[in-house]
Amino acid sequence: MSENPEEKLHSLTTEDAFHRFSLADIHLATQNFNDALVIGKGGFGTVYKGRIHGTRDATERLVAIKRLDSSSTQGAPEFMNEIKMLTKVHHCNLVSLIGYCFDNNEMILVYEYMPNGTIDYHLHKADTRLSWMHRLKISIGVARGLHYLHTGVGTQHGIIHRDLKSSNILLDENWAARISDFGMSKVVDHPSSGVITTPKGTFGYLDHEYCRTGKLTRKSDVYAFGLFLIELLSGRRAIDPLFVDEGHNVADWAKKCVKEGQLEQVVCSHITKQISPKCLKEFVHIADLCTKSSRKERPTMAEVVYTLDQLMALQKNFDSSGSRHNSDSLRIFSYSDMEVATKNFSSHRLLGRGHYGEVIRGWLDKKTHSSYIHDNGLSIAVKRLYRHKFKSHMVNEMKMESLEEFNDPNVVKILGYCVEEYSVLIIYEFMHQGNLKDYLFSVKRRTEKHLFASRVKIAIGVARGLLF
């Protein structure tokens, strides 16, 4: 015999995870479902803003009250599913459920109130001038929330949201992103391999492979997230009648723009001048990967989170410098400068030799970065590439300015370079703690302080540097 709704609710909430409100509580909170308090409507029903008593701390709270449409055939299953999902997950980028009401055939959910509404509202209705940095922060918040769901934290499995879209992403009082609406979400034992299920979701955000095969995996959420990224960047809806030649799909339109070398057309006019060119290029690239037709080509949300974090660091560097040509740009040193800094490439300052060259220690003035005779300035490591490894025309054709691209916390910082007298020099910041090999294999330098936790941190740093 199947469990009735009352028994199912009791089994879901036995640990007092949520408060059960009476219908009288809800009537009081919404002024008898006053239309003036409506803050949202959809196929599921209506959302009201209200103030409610009766929670554990007995104080009045500002809440969002979702009243499901009793005539909807999907109402009861999604109502139960939402409660089931939100008993399992707790994360700063997910909306929290406070309680529910199941009384007199009414199915009502009570959430914490998100004062800044949905992303959909700000992008397409209010035309809010969200800055590029704010849009980037929102994308990172949503990515982290999805990654949390997919990795099975707190569930021993994974959760696939199945209906990610801009109208289901809310903004709290700090304008941080919160994923909402878990009525269609599904717990999956093996989220990478997926589960066969009837396709559900919102047209435009639905993974084509899921629609074709009926196989739901977490890569279906990744596809929807890619569409959201383009929507966030361009300010255009995921499905827009203006994209008639591209099947009304914003991702296909963006791919076409990129292919035709018109990347700037993908960017909302409000933020065109705010974006680092490299950040824009990589942001569109990750969105393109997320929306690949084959789910095997799409990244995991863990990879997406890391990439977006890197883009945030890149954008911050760009913002702090003011432009690409700034004091943090690579400096072109003269050969004579490096002769002074290294005492004519003295063998006494040799740090090491490799297949392509040798590394010599030197010093620069800390303020001006000019060559410095004394050994108490800014320590540098000068890599001098062997001349016989390069032909003269190769030296002349080297595009050393591309070294500016190698800017990451887990990559040794490059200060500048010199291409002169058929010599190639690359100037790095000096690493005072030496190399890892010495700590692992030199009895003299090895210390018990470098235990397992430190080694894990080192491994993570190396992995991040390689990924970059």
- Number of other residues whose CB lies within 10 A of the CB of residue 316: 14
CA-nearest of 101, 98, 142, 140 to 118 is: 142
Tell me whether strands 97-103 and 19-20 are parallel, antiparallel or unpaired: parallel
| 35 given a catalytic annotation | no
Place of tokens 């499905």: 239
Query: Is residue 19 classed as helix, strand or coil in its secondary structure?
Result: strand
Distance CA 85, CA 88 (A): 5
Answer whether 115's CB lies under 8 Å from 173's CB. yes
Q: Torsions phi, psi of 68, nearest 5?
A: -75, 145
Intra-chain end-to-end CA distance of the chain, in Å: 55
CA-nearest of 121, 116, 86 to 13 is: 86
The dihedral over CA atoms of 434, 435, 437, 438, expressed in degrees to the nearest 10, equals 0
Q: For residue 133, what are its two tokens?
A: 């940095």
Q: Torsions phi, psi of 423, nearest 5?
A: -115, 145
Q: Which residues pair with 169 in a beta bridge?
A: 179
**Which of 25, 163, 181, 337 is an active site residue?**
163
Q: For residue 125, what are its two tokens?
A: 């209705």
Answer whether 259's CB lies under 8 Å from 249's CB. no
Place of tokens 């977490």: 218
Q: For residue 284, what are its two tokens?
A: 């569109």
Q: For residue 226, what are its two tokens?
A: 């890619």
Residues serving a catalytic function are: 163
